Chain A
Amino acid sequence: AQSVTQLGSHVSVSEGALVLLRCNYSSSVPPYLFWYVQYPNQGLQLLLKYTSAATLVKGINGFEAEFKKSETSFHLTKPSAHMSDAAEYFCAVSVKSGGSNYKLTFGKGTLLTVNP
């Protein structure tokens, strides 16, 4: 079964520091992978997605992620953290379910704290 694992339930960085949020996947077929961000009391917003077109994917708000098949990883990075990046981040894999539809299977999330 396809799944994702997020390493680290809480990451704390200083403003201006590198952000690195880790996600590893398990899949027997080429996966479709997503990163979503959730701000308090809001729904999930797509940051970026990997659809096999390019291994380095650039998203919104300066985030990017690199798909590494050899490491089964899809880590999320941002060179310089802003206070506004403080939120919960979810990695997800798109899984075929019940015929022709796909559903998202999420990791448990990583809470990012940015310190001034």
Chain B
Amino acid sequence: GAGVSQSPRYKVAKRGQDVALRCDPISGHVSLFWYQQALGQGPEFLTYFQNEAQLDKSGLPSDRFFAERPEGSVSTLKIQRTQQEDSAVYLCASSLIPGSGTDTQYFGPGTRLTVL
């Protein structure tokens, strides 16, 4: 596709359920990022992939959060045993050039997760 796509766009989960959020980056983009955007806040970094390698997971808030990108393309962010504080919009972004501070990150529309 022309841009980054994410699915589902909206997800409602009961507390304690596991959820999986999908990201399809722009074809050919090496770098893939996940961000979490709480209501009324700016996005916050969660994790980074270069191809299939997860090089930075310093932003993952707990061990309930897990991300993978097994073939270096599609990525999945999984949250186990969801809690109410996990309610947020989860944004995926991709960029072409790894290790570049100036390369543009292209964002998907996000998945809005609501935990009841």
Contact = CB atoms under 8 A, between A and B. Distances in A.
B26 interface: no
Contacts of B44: 106
A44 B59 CA distance: 19
A97 B48 contact: yes
Contacts of B31: 101
B104 A103 contact: no
A43 interface: yes
Interface string B14-44: 0000000000000000010101000011111
Contacts of B41: 108-109
A96 to B, nearest CB: 7
A99 B44 CA distance: 19
Contacts of A106: 42-44
Interface residues of A, number: 27
B99 A98 contact: no
B55 A94 contact: no
Q: Is the interface of B mostly helix, strand, loop or mixed?
A: loop
Contacts, number: 72
Interface string A78-116: 000000000000101010111111111111110000000
Contacts of A14: none
B48 A98 contact: yes
Given A101-B31, A101-B48, A103-B48, A94 B102 contact: yes
Interface in A22-74: 32, 36, 41-46, 49, 51
A42 B107 CA distance: 9
Given A43-B91, A44-B91, A97-B56, A105 B104 contact: no
Contact of B109 (A41, A49, A108): A41
B109 A98 contact: no
Contacts of A51: 102
B42 A109 contact: yes
A62 B35 CA distance: 28
Q: Which of B91, B104, B105, B109 has the most CB of A within 10 A?
A: B105
Given A43-B107, A98-B58, 4 more contacts: A44-B107, A51-B102, A101-B31, A105-B45
